[in-house]
Chains A and B, each alone.
Chain A
Amino acid sequence: MSEKFTNAGHSHSKIDSIALACGNEKYTDDFMTDTPLHIAFLYSDIANGIISSIDYKAAEQADGVKLILYHGNTPDTLHTTAGQGYPEPSPYDCRMFDKKVRFVGDRIAAVVADTYKQAEAALKLIKVEIEQLPALFDIEKAIDAGSPVIHSDDEYPAIPVTYKPEENIAAEIVTGFGDLEKGFKQADLIIDETYSMQYASHCATEPHAVSVHFDERGRLVIITATQVPYHVRRIVSIVCGIEIKNIRVIKPRVGGGFGGKQEVFLEQVAALAAWRLKRSIKIVLSRKEVFISARTRHAMRSRIKMGVQKDGTITALDVDDLMNAGAYAPHALTVLSNAGAKVLPLFNKIENLRFSGRSVYTNLPVGGAYRGYGATQGYFALNQHIDEAARYCGEDFCEYVKKRHIKSGETSRVFEALGEGKEGVRQFIKSCGLTECIDRGAKAIEWEKLRGKKLRNGNRIRGVGAAVAMQGSGIPEIDMASCHIKMNEDGSFNLNTGATDIGTGSDTILAQIAAEALKTDYSKMIVLSSDTDTTPFDTGAYASSTTYITGNAVKQCALKVYDLILKAASEMLGADKNELKVEDSKVSSRDGRTVEYGEICAFRLYTSGQLQIQASSSFVAHESPPPFTAQFADLEVDIETGEIILNRIAAAVDCGHPLNPLLAEGQVEGAVLNGISYALTEDYIFNSNGRMTNPDLGRYKIFNTVDTPEIITILADTYEDTGPYGAKSVGEIALNGPAPAIANAVYDAVGIRLRHTPFTPEKVWKLLNEQ
């Protein structure tokens, strides 16, 4: 497919990569403003309580201290910290500082001082009395009568959705179709099991940071490590009461996000302090603060009841999810709905289906967006059920899935039933390479040779397992992206987009898309992104949207510019537009005369019909074509120790026509490894008071080079007609595969079902010894 394109489909290193490798690029904390003030936060060590008094007199007098912020002197605007489209589908349930503390890590106050050390020292001088309330840590108990009510003030949803804080219910969804009872009656076997996944931290290597200063004219400039610059500007404006026109948000290089930086919880504090003191402000969180006070992956309990006939037909599927929103509920509704919306369409022949779920408040850390966004949790459960169903009817997992997964030209009633906090958008699948992914992944992992063989090597027994998943490409009818392109007289172009490259390479692939449409080389594109003063609106880097949604905006815009180039060239060459040939930044007429792009731009700037060759475009998607993946784990289980030794994992992904295979592979590999360590080691270990006991990268174990198994990446050869040059998304999907593939492989090896992540040796050993 790539042959017909000169840019799209070609591997190029990221346009910022050599500067990053040379240490030239700047992250938020690298900007040197004039002697910024620093902020240190006072966090609650009590999980649930009411602040009865704060005495900060001594702290105020301490060396270097300029200001202390707490609930008594800050705006009490209810808002959500979720960086989502406006009005957000997340409830307005938090304030910058509150009279109540709701988890260990909730912010009580902020000290602003000349140095961070001074601010930190002053924290110790603040005397806080908290009237402790019974805390709620167990999601199963959250909705019991008599459980502590975590939000009992005037919290409210910004859009009409179910929200019952008095019952600790942050979100509730019930949807479905068909007749469940009838479906279960037709079944020969009912598989009814409960699964759970744990809390997790994004562990972006760059901790959250924000740096605020005033420009020469007194406007507030917020440099911030964010995935959502425009949402930052809006939320800061609303919460702090600063006009939009006085705020400029700039996203510099960002050291990874994975959803963690889709959250706006530092910028408003820094902005308010800066606005009050008329000084530059810097906040850089420590790793510990990121763990305890930033956002997390929602822990989820998922019960699935599935009716299966002997021939493999799924007669009914009843999914009941209970999600831990934590103390506040950013993304609590949408992550929950995605656990159904991005999961259930995959097996679209099921006629009787119900998806019900509740997100509940607890006094634990706050959930948020995290790569995979509910689909990860949903697929962990569903894939094990599918493995059981296939085994029951005597079919190979791969063949079972290939017969039953959604195909090109097909739809699912789930698409309509479930959207982002409201009904979804009906869509038909136009490209689906899942069967190809299954075939190629199975071959790579030697499925036929290894499946069911239980090869033994001392205490180790080998198994292989598989999992399949889909995701989406942006949020249809909600996410909007825009861009502006202008031409320069050397044939280069400025490409300005609001898209937010957080290390994903979106600046690069957007340049490739523009260059493809303009019939030039991507190196001619000068990319500027994510600055609310100089680049147009974009919802931001989330929901696997940038390639598809911003990519389409860029393509549209580039085609408009291309048309202007042709018009000018036609005038210069005295030839009809339709008779011109364009190649490699040159326009030729039939008689062989040629003008170069640079000359065309200069002609329009200085000679005839003077204008700047430029265009802008906005794009809203009407569908969200899903990428697909099939993943395969090859592992051994040590039956003496319970350890899982992962030999290899193969991830085959259909992301449409990969615009930059090198970068697409990188997205897959990173997501796969995150999925592996989430399955095996990552965990928040809470003590009985709700305090995380392992808030550092030593004890919260993510994988290093030595831990990492061989990862085999396969990109399927498909083409999505609605995508820019055939592309669909690739950012999130690959995280959905490892946990279920590993669980299914462990079953293949030793016949135990791991329904609760992480799969620690202790858990495996215990199950082995219960057999």
Chain B
Amino acid sequence: MNNLLIVNYVINGKDVVFTINPKDSLLKVLRDNGYTEVHNGCQTGDCGACVVILNGRTVNSCMVLAASAKDGEILTVKALGDIHNPHPIQRAFAESGAVQCGFCTPGQILSTYALLLENHDPDEKDIRRALDGNICRCTGYVKILEAVKLAGRLMKEAEHV
């Protein structure tokens, strides 16, 4: 049996302490602890459904050992906004028709968030590059690209950045 570890994280602004198996991925630990908005699409780092922001950078949480992320600050899509007060990016995705099955959406939104924090006015090429690790099988990306552009405008308007 593996020795269990006790680790601290700050998830969506809240301090948490988890007991984890050192072999587990961050994806597994997050999901097992109720952060089911982080989706498991492939476990090989190819699809981006499990993207979270770890210490300011987007990562595929399936490719990160939970133990190595200890003391880290983690943001899931729920950090951005909620159903009563959605973030402009979340609104933009919904309004643009960028959400079909929605399984890739949290990852898409977090990659968008990371992009827009750095670059308030990305051109289409910037957007395509920033989201190239997030696979979507429903939309053909057309409305996702539109959503990111709309989100940029909404965030500028709201000075939400």
Contact = CB atoms under 8 A, between A and B. Distances in A.
Interface of A: 11, 13-14, 16-27, 29-30, 32, 202-207, 253-256, 258, 284, 286-287, 502-505, 662-663, 665-666, 669-674, 696-698, 702, 704-706, 708, 711, 713
B128 A663 contact: no
Given A16-B102, A29-B40, A205-B101, A674 B93 contact: no
Contacts of B131: 704-705
Contacts of B40: 29, 207, 284
B59 interface: no
A20 B102 contact: yes
A287 B39 CA distance: 13
A204 B139 CA distance: 12
Interface of B: 31, 34, 36-37, 39-47, 49, 76-78, 80-83, 86, 89-91, 93-97, 99-106, 109, 127-129, 131-145
Contacts of B138: 205, 256, 503, 666, 670
A13 B99 contact: yes
Given A704-B131, A704-B135, 16 more contacts: A18-B91, A20-B94, A21-B77, A21-B102, A22-B78, A22-B86, A23-B77, A29-B31, A205-B41, A205-B49, A255-B103, A666-B138, A696-B42, A697-B46, A704-B132, A708-B141
A100 to B, nearest CB: 31
Contact of B42 (A23, A287, A670, A672): A287
Contacts of A258: 137
Contacts of A673: 139-141
Chain B residues touching A, majority SS: loop
A14 B105 CA distance: 13
Contacts of B46: 287, 696-698
A443 B44 CA distance: 43
Contacts of B105: 20-21
A702 B137 contact: yes
B103 A26 contact: no
Given A32-B34, A256-B137, A22 B42 contact: no
A13 B95 contact: yes
Nearest to B91: A18
A13 B86 CA distance: 15
Given A18-B94, A287-B42, A711 B140 contact: yes
Contacts of A706: 128-129, 132
Contacts of A22: 37, 77-78, 80-83, 86, 90
Interface centre among B97, B134, B140 (most CB of A within 10 A): B140
B94 A17 contact: yes
B31 to A, nearest CB: 8
Contacts of B31: 29
B34 to A, nearest CB: 7
Contacts of B136: 205, 670
A254 B104 CA distance: 11
A25 B102 contact: yes
A702 B142 CA distance: 15
Contact of B140 (A663, A672, A697): A672
29 contacts: A16-B102, A21-B90, A21-B93, A21-B109, A22-B37, A22-B82, A24-B37, A26-B36, A29-B40, A32-B34, A203-B135, A205-B47, A205-B101, A205-B138, A253-B102, A255-B39, A255-B41, A256-B137, A503-B102, A503-B103, A662-B143, A663-B97, A669-B141, A673-B139, A702-B135, A704-B134, A705-B129, A706-B128, A706-B129
